[in-house]
Structure 1
Amino acid sequence: MTDDDTTDESTTDKPNTTDESNVVSGWQGRYYEDFTVGDVYKHPFGRTITETDDVWLTNITMNLNPMHFNEAYAAETEFGERLVNGLVVIATAVGMSVIDISMNATANLGYDDVRHHAPVFHGDTLFVESEVVSKRELESRDHVGIVTTKLRAYNQDDELVLSLERTPMVQKRSHAQPSAAQPPGWPTGIGTQPSSEGEE
């Protein structure tokens, strides 16, 4: 066998079945049963809002307020510089909460009591948490429940910049039956599969 005929096992294709103990569940998000009124979830990772984030979304959505894209104009205002578009702040903060609140939601039913408490500037970093305000079952749909949370976003100086309530309709675990082999967002049969029927 020549050097050209050798096989590096690290680069060969691996089988798509394995012993079930090797297929381990990662974070699959909360289901309706997992929410407890009064609990607060601090969502992982801060997110720095860049000028690119702000200008792109402002232009895409045709927000014509010059506070967001005209530095000369903004320099003459009380803030002395451009402000991040409030909808960029909302979209980013809500997106940061999805991993804990609505990864398994079937719909967002509403956003209420939205308040911008302080301006956000390019280079500010958002940190977001959510508090469970209420939850309730639905008579018309036994596979989901309604959860209302209060979202709070802070900047790097611990200044509250945004608060809002949002209400997603969240799947019940008993209906979704999540598994290690098919986590949220994965179609059936993709990737490594357990070799027996006993996989949880």
Structure 2
Amino acid sequence: MAQSQQKTNPGRFFEDYAVGDVLKHAVPRTVSGGERALYHALYPARHALYSSDSFAQGCGLASSPIDDLAAFHVVFGKTVPDVSLNAVANLGYAEGRWLIPVYPGDTLRSESEVIGVKQNSNGKTGVVYVRTRGLNQRDEVVMEYVRWVMVRKSDLDAPAPEPVVPELKKGLDAADLVIPEGLDFSAYDFDLAGEPHRWGDYEIGEQIDHVDGVTIEEAEHMMATRLWQNTAKVHFDLSFRPDGRLIYGGHVISMARALSFNGLANAQMIVGLNGGAHANPCFAGDTIKAWSEVLDKSETAAPGVGAVRLRLVATKGGAPFELRGADGKYLPDVLLDLDYWVLMPM
């Protein structure tokens, strides 16, 4: 019997990446109200703009968009087979921008460019930097971001590439943010939104304990990761990581963002991602709590719309407002440190 040629894909390893490579990721996805319903079932997401067509129309939009992070997860999930299937860890984000709202019926696809590679000193892994763009059916870029991942080597004897570490912005300026066309918060309904706090009520340096907590369940995080078509082995295969299935970092981001509703109910739209770190691994059974810090504020040209830069920190039971130890390293209870811009009524 003739031996079959290999048709399966083991994924890319560190030595398979070169600066300048453009990766066109497979399987476009048409999103629907199903993504919205499942997102709201998996996370306690309650922001009004993403829950109600009539509320969104009162804010100048055609209808209620898909949650910004749900759209991010769809775009991100497409990249996993080509970028992070053999990753040890997703290390960070930068220069993320949401450019056009995603609505039910839109079809999303993703493409990434390799913008940096650097082998680690152990010779077994390396860091790969990619700039990813999510596009809709009209070839409009709906979002873009940079992320970097630590990836295993398959051939330990493969020579180390010339290191290239891209120069990335430490944060987006308010002028870099794109306000959705037509967005208007001048007739914003604070009663329906759930809280009275507006742009002027928040002070730079203010810290907010979001009070609530959610315990991560094994079945829910695996369902969420499958929903986003994220195939990374560390999230599913115990033989790949015997200490436990690693919780997808985006699951932690969405959970923390949903928890932040209590105190930031009017932080409606995410428009910028300045940086982020998954500080420590998260596993099923961990209870996520969250706190935020106001880093910056800016007015915008859109009527009634202000921009607020926030730090969102997720912990597994750690005390609020504690981030790093005396050594400058993240405390062991810190799961996520996310720096992002939101739009809020003035």
Identity of aligned residues (%): 30
Q: For residues 145 and 160 of structure 1, what CA distance do their matches in structure 2 show?
A: 29
Report the CA distance between 1:105 and its aligned residue: 0.5
1:15-58: CA deviation from partner (whole Å, max 9, x where unpaired): xxxx7934735111111011010110110110111111123213
Q: Tell me: higher relative CO, structure 1 or 2? Use CA pairs within 8 A at least 6 residues apart.
A: 1
SS at match of 2:155: helix
1:146 aligns with 2:144: no
Unaligned ranges ≥5, structure 2: 157-232, 241-346
Question: Counterpart of 2:149?
Answer: 168
Amino acid at match of 1:125: T
**Total equivalences in the alignment:** 161
- TM-score, normalising length: structure 2: 0.44
Report the CA distance between 1:154 and its aligned residue: 0.6
Report the CA distance between 1:80 and its aligned residue: 2.4
Kindly report the root-mean-square deviation, in angstroms, between the aligned alpha carbons of the 2 structures: 2.2
Question: Counterpart of 1:99?
Answer: 81
1:100-159: CA deviation from partner (whole Å, max 9, x where unpaired): 1111111100121110011110110101000000000111x3211000000001100111
Q: Point out the more displaced range, 154-163 or 46-55.
A: 46-55
Question: Counterpart of 1:78?
Answer: 60
Question: Counterpart of 1:158?
Answer: 139
* Aligned structure 1 segments of 4 or more residues deviating by more than 4 angstroms: 184-188
Give the structure with higher Rg (CA): 1
Question: Counterpart of 1:197?
Answer: none
Q: For residues 7 and 65 of structure 2, what CA distance do their matches in structure 1 show?
A: 41
- Checking the alignment, whether the CA contact within 8 Å between 1:97 and 1:129 is kept in structure 2 is yes
Q: For residues 31 and 92 of structure 2, what CA distance do their matches in structure 1 show?
A: 25
1:165-196: CA deviation from partner (whole Å, max 9, x where unpaired): 11110110125xxxxxxxx76969xxxxxxxx
Amino acid at match of 2:87: A
Q: For residues 79 and 60 of structure 1, what CA distance do their matches in structure 2 show?
A: 25
Q: For residues 20 and 64 of structure 1, what CA distance do their matches in structure 2 show?
A: 57
Q: For residues 46 and 110 of structure 1, what CA distance do their matches in structure 2 show?
A: 25
- The one of 111, 118, 122 equivalent to 2:104 is 122
Amino acid at match of 2:50: H
- TM-score, normalising length: structure 1: 0.74
Question: Counterpart of 1:62?
Answer: 44
Q: For residues 18 and 238 of structure 2, what CA distance do their matches in structure 1 show?
A: 27
- Checking the alignment, whether the CA contact within 8 Å between 1:55 and 1:69 is kept in structure 2 is no
- Checking the alignment, whether the CA contact within 8 Å between 1:58 and 1:68 is kept in structure 2 is no
Report the CA distance between 1:160 and its aligned residue: 0.6
Report the CA distance between 1:90 and its aligned residue: 1.0
Q: For residues 7 and 38 of structure 2, what CA distance do their matches in structure 1 show?
A: 36
Q: For residues 171 and 151 of structure 1, what CA distance do their matches in structure 2 show?
A: 20
Report the CA distance between 1:99 and its aligned residue: 0.9
- The one of 8, 33, 50 equivalent to 1:51 is 33
